DNA sequence: CTGAAAGCGCTAACAG
DNA sequence: CTGTTAGCGCTTTCAG
């Protein structure tokens, strides 16, 4: 393992010059620059992150907090974050916050304090004041994906706006009896995404002068199987079946489509369905949806974080836009034909 | 930020004793042990990983190499790895190896050499001799999930055995015309999982004296949409349609089920389908499958790695077992009734 | 069992 | 632009 001294010797300069040439901090003559570069490559020299981190206080490593990994949204955001960070020469260290409070505390009281990371990206985890405080105290920049997080630059979609748009799409097609598949208590933690999406749905109905019918609203855990089951109950009920359904996620929307099919209904003829996400599977089901691009959200979060690390303007709360993607799962209601 | 000196002072001992007490290396009197513990807690002291890493050469951080994150198998393995590592007080640093050769080289020539990790887990990435060598040269233990990897302890399922079992299940039900949905060139990299699964399929047919029919074998990219398309072609062909289908993954099997349905066929009456994985969605589709538990594979890999780090017996190549989970997507062929 | 002290490999004043 | 040098905060001999 070649050290900085070896490089200095081979290049015929001092270790300070090597450090400067390789890090780009401070000025170095072109000649020295080249000599160092050559020597480093030849010797296969790579700085030791521990030594560099100890001396400079910078680790070139970012901590990413996620509640789960095995889920389309989180995995996508993570991919966006890690690929962008890698481009910038940063490493990505992953901290999975389970429901376990003890473990969560351990992450904040041990893992994040051991100075392994320069900054933190929190993906859909609602940090409490104390947690934010402890990060600020360490002078670690923090950016949130999903928010808001008081005093923290965050990046988030407009959940209410998204579901209002989805609902309006259905209304504009002529639907009046519109069902809703949202979250359950378990999923309505952190930023209460399910609640916001429900609110947007209700606002859109309200604005259109449509009465809200609680019997048309069911909850699930954002997975296809639970939504399938919930939709079956909803659609199987002979009394006042909806002509359209909005689901708070595409996976749930797909579950609903499958439930409808299993009940012998045709989508969109007998039932229009709209989701939220533009999931990888949506196109195959012809699902109309509101797109949010988690991969891009991850990349954007990195951009915001790097600005913060470099001490540039904070670039506070930032809304990520969404767009309606119309496919073949929505149409006018039969009776309006 | 309290340092080790502060703790030493507060506990009335030397920094050496604090280090020993907190790391568990070397012996410390109970009295000192307690004093240190108390002082550390009181001051909120956490060792600096840079300083500790620099002095000891140990970072308590493991690098995990994955080809993709946003995929059920990898995300599951990753969850298993990270949760297990966290329990052991280790951090997880993620390196995503894209198809980009340049970036891959960068990971091996820069990222992994900067001494940020103590060891590496490679998940389904076929490291070449040079890459393995460069890790060994650094004295970094390496464990592979998916294999084999020459000279490296690996953990892997028996891909041929899995698909042989799946195929035998269909044969035992009476099927003779059994189709196969495998991978394509793009997915047949690294450990050639698609090839192995195809081999197992062919072996089972061969053993049963059934002729292999290339027209019954199609390729896809392990996703539901491509398998849906491929299955439609296969099943729509009027000449010699299969009575059963084995897919190299559950997502593909589900794609096939949906394709069959869209062609008006009933599963399992008109077509039996079996997959591999026991994916989260499989139960909802009643899919018969061969289970592999990626989360557990991740945990096991960590266990193997920790042994290696501690210099214990290597515990070489280790086969992970699989099991047949019979649900409702397979039955005897119609004409055998 | 404990303390003193010598680094670990690099960065960042500082002086030139 | 460059070299010298004093640490960064901890671990680990080595003596005691």
pLDDT digits (tens, 9 = 90+) for B149-185: 888 899 989 999 999 999 999 999 999 999 999 998 8
How many other CB atoms are found less than 10 A from the CB of residue B322? Answer: 21
* Protein CA at B154 to nucleotide C1' at C7, angstroms: 37
Residue B77 lies inside a defined structural domain of this protein: yes
Calculate the angstrom distance between C1' of D11 and CA of B145.
33
Q: In the 3-class helix/strand/coil scheme, how is B64-128 assigned residue by residue? A: EEECCCCCHHHHHHHHHHHHHHHHCCCEEEEEECCCCHHHHHHHHHCHHHCCCCCEEEEECCCCC
Are B146 and B49 within one domain? no
Pair B279, B164 in one domain: yes
Whether residue B95 and residue A86 make contact (CB cut-off 8 A), yes or no, is yes
Residues B135, B222, single domain; the answer is no
Tens of pLDDT along A68-101? 999 999 999 999 999 999 999 999 999 999 888 8
Beta-carbon separation of A116 and B82 below 8 A: no
Residues A180 and A244 in one domain: yes
Rama region for B255: left / alpha / beta (φ>0; ψ in -120 to 50; rest): alpha
Joined tokens for residue A259: 């439930």
A260/A170 same-domain check: yes
CA of A27 to C1' of D1 (A): 7
B49: which chain A residues are within 8 Å (Cβ-Cβ)? 50, 53, 114-116
Residue closest to sugar C1' of C3 by CA: B14
Is residue B66 in a domain?
A: yes
Tell if B1 CB is < 7 Å from nucleic strand D: yes
Position A337 confidence tier, pLDDT thresholds 50, 70, 90? very low
Per the structure, the count of domains in chain A is 3
- Are A222 and A308 found together in one domain? no
Q: Which of A336, A329, A294, A301 is nearest to A315 (CA)?
A: A301
User: Residue A217 is part of which domain span?
Assistant: 159-291
Q: Indicate whether A79 and A105 sit together in one domain.
A: yes
Q: How many CB pairs under 8 A join A and B?
A: 142
B332 within a domain of the structure (yes/no): no
Q: Is A264 exposed, middle or buried (0-12, 13-18, 19+ CB in 10 A)?
A: exposed
Q: For A94 and D13, how far is CA from C1' in angstroms?
A: 35
- In chain A, pLDDT over 70 holds for what percent of residues? 98
Q: What tens digit of pLDDT does each residue of B214-265 get? A: 999 999 999 999 999 999 999 998 888 999 999 999 999 999 999 999 999 9
Residues A197 and A214 occupy one common structural domain: yes
The C-alpha atoms of residue A98 and residue A67 are separated, in whole angstroms, by: 6
Q: Do A50 and B59 touch (CB under 8 A)?
A: yes
| A91-96 vs A119-123, strand pairing mode | unpaired
Structural domain contains residue A325: no
Residue that is last in its domain, among A41, A56, A71: A56
Question: Mutate which of B23, B41, B49 to disrupt the A interface (most A C-beta within 10 Å)?
Answer: B49
Residue nearest to nucleotide D13 (CA to C1'): B16
Whether residue A327 is contained in a domain is answered as no
Confidence at A188, pLDDT banded by 50, 70, 90: confident
Q: Tokens for B43?
A: 């001051």
Q: Which of residues 258-277 of B touch A (CB under 8 A)?
A: 258, 261
- Residue A323, both tokens: 């767009």
- Window 6-25 of chain B: CB closer than 7 A to strand D: 15-16, 18-20, 22-23, 25
Note whether A168 and A250 are same-domain residues: yes
A286 & A173 share domain: yes
Residue B331 domain flag: no
| CATH number, domain with residue A241 | 3.40.50.2300
Residues of A in contact with B138 (CB under 8 A): 1
Are both B225 and B303 inside the same structural domain? no
Instruction: Tell me which residue in B53, B78, B103 faces A69 most closely, judged by beta carbons.
Output: B78
Question: What length does chain A have?
Answer: 337
Asked whether residue A329 is assigned to any structural domain, the reply reads: no
Q: Which residue has the tokens 């979609």?
A: A157
For residue range A3-32, list pLDDT tens digits in order. 999 999 999 999 999 999 999 998 899 999
CATH at B35 = 1.10.260
Q: Is B330 part of any domain?
A: no
- Chain D bases under 7 Å from protein CB? 1-5, 7-13
CA of B154 vs C1' of D8, distance in Å?
39
Kindly determine whether the C-beta of residue B4 is less than 7 Å away from any atom of nucleic acid strand D.
Answer: yes
Distances (CA, A) of B169 to A83, B17, B54, B159, B200: 42, 63, 56, 15, 13
B53 touching A, CB under 8 A?
Answer: yes
Residues A171 and A260 in one domain: yes
Q: Of B56, B81, B97, at which residue does a domain stop?
A: B56
Statement: the pTM of the whole predicted model exceeds 0.75:
yes
For residues B287-308, average pLDDT = 95
């Amino acid at each position: 393992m070649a050290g900085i001294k070896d490089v200095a010797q081979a290049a015929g300069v001092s270790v300070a010059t090597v450090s400067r040439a390789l890090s780009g901090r401070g000025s170095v003559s072109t000649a020295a620059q080249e000599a160092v570069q050559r020597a480093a490559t030849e010797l296969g020299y790579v700085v030791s992150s521990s030594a560099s981190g100890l001396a400079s206080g910078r680790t070139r490593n970012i901590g990413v907090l996620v509640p789960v990994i095995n889920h389309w949204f989180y995995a996508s955001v993570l991919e966006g974050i890690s690929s962008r960070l890698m481009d910038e020469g940063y490493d990505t260290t992953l901290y999975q916050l389970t429901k376990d409070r003890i473990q969560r505390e351990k992450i904040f009281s041990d893992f994040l304090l051991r100075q392994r990371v320069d900054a933190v990206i929190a993906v859909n985890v609602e940090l409490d004041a104390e947690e934010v405080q402890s990060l600020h105290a360490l002078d670690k920049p923090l950016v949130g994906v999903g928010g808001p997080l008081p005093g923290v630059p965050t990046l988030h979609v407009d959940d209410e706006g998204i579901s209002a748009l989805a609902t309006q799409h259905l209304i504009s097609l002529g639907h009046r009896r519109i069902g809703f598949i949202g979250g359950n208590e378990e999923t309505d933690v952190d930023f209460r995404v399910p609640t916001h999406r429900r609110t947007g749905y209700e606002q859109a109905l309200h604005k259109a002068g449509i009465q809200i019918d609680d019997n048309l609203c069911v909850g699930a855990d954002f997975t296809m199987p639970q939504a399938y089951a919930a939709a079956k109950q909803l659609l199987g009920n002979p009394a006042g079946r909806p002509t359209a359904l909005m689901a708070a996620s595409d996976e749930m929307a797909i579950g609903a489509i499958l439930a409808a099919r299993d009940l012998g209904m045709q989508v969109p003829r007998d039932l229009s369905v709209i989701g939220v996400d533009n999931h990888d599977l949506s196109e195959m089901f012809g699902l109309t949806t509101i797109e949010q691009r988690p991969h891009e959200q991850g990349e954007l979060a990195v951009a915001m974080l790097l600005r913060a690390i470099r001490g540039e303007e904070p670039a506070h709360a930032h809304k990520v836009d969404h767009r309606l993607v119309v496919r073949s799962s929505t149409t006018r209601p039969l009776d309006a034909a």
